[in-house]
Amino acid sequence: MKKANLGSKVLMYPFPIVLFGSVVENKPNYSTVGNVGIMALRPATLYVSSHKSHYTNIGVRENKTFSVNFPSTDLVVESDYCGIVTGHKEDKSEVFKTYYGNIKTAPLIIECPVNISCRVIKEFMVGGMEVFIGKIDETYVNEDLVPERGKPDVIKIDPLLYSVDLNYYKIGEKIARAFSIGKEYKKKA
Ligand SMILES: Cc1cc2nc3c(=O)[nH]c(=O)nc-3n(C[C@H](O)[C@H](O)[C@H](O)COP(=O)(O)O)c2cc1C
């Protein structure tokens, strides 16, 4: 197979889109972010990379707290809106209904099935991006999406995905069990 070398590019996709939240001037503000990811499971730690000019960053810098909210695909319009309009120019505090957990400066979105609040433990710059590393304080999931003794149902959560082709997607079907299907490898050979 011949490979096309596209040079120094971040072609990592698709990934979930999140609404990155903070409180600025006593109001919640949400920005759409694809640059988000897990740093460690224990302690539960994630990062968000957001351009230094963004309004949401003001609240994160000030309070050292933020939220990460996972929208379902039915929130695609609102989610895209928060990614094309800045809080510097428009009040986005009413786009979603907000509630708070333990941290009163990490606004959580009622309409999103998964909400995470974080405390900043480290921040640094990569080019013009401010990278915030957050220790997860609380994680809320809509009760009907969590089976009694299991993990949240990803298909029901229906996370909004984004890709480098500038389109939104939804997840497809489950294809195999992780930490398990690999055992088939030797049988296949
Ligand atoms: C699909 C999508 C993904 C985005 N991902 C990021 C991102 O990872 N980091 C970032 O700094 N901006 C990202 N943006 C742009 C911000 O969401 C946008 O500039 C927003 O208006 C900032 O809002 P704020 O100024 O109110 O914080 C994205 C926008 C869209 C539509």
Query: CATH number, domain at 24?
Result: 2.30.110.10
> Burial level of 172, CB count in 10 A (0-12/13-18/19+)?
exposed
Average pLDDT along the chain: 95
Per the domain annotation, does 2 fall within a domain?
Answer: no
Amino acid occupying residue 21: G
Pocket-testing residue among 20, 29, 31, ligand 1, by greatest number of atoms within 8 A of Cβ: 31
Residue owning the nearest CA to atom 10 of ligand 1 = 50
Question: What is the domain range of residue 171?
Answer: 15-188
Model confidence pLDDT, tens digit, residues 13-60? 889 999 999 999 999 999 999 999 999 999 999 999 999 999 999 999
Instruction: Quickly count: other Cβ atoms within 10 Å of residue 133's Cβ.
Output: 17
Q: How far apart are CA 68 and CA 19, in angstroms?
A: 6
H or E element: which one contains 121? strand 114-126
Model confidence pLDDT, tens digit, residues 60-101? 999 999 999 999 999 999 999 999 999 999 999 999 999 999
Per the domain annotation, does 98 fall within a domain?
Answer: yes
Per the domain annotation, does 92 fall within a domain?
Answer: yes
With cut-offs at 50, 70 and 90, classify the pLDDT of residue 146. confident
Q: In the chain, how many domains are there?
A: 1
CA of 41 to the centre of ligand 1 (A): 25
Per the domain annotation, does 28 fall within a domain?
Answer: yes
What local confidence, expressed as pLDDT, does residue 122 receive? 98
Per the domain annotation, does 44 fall within a domain?
Answer: yes
Q: How far apart are CA 156 and CA 162, in angstroms?
A: 18
Per the domain annotation, does 140 fall within a domain?
Answer: yes
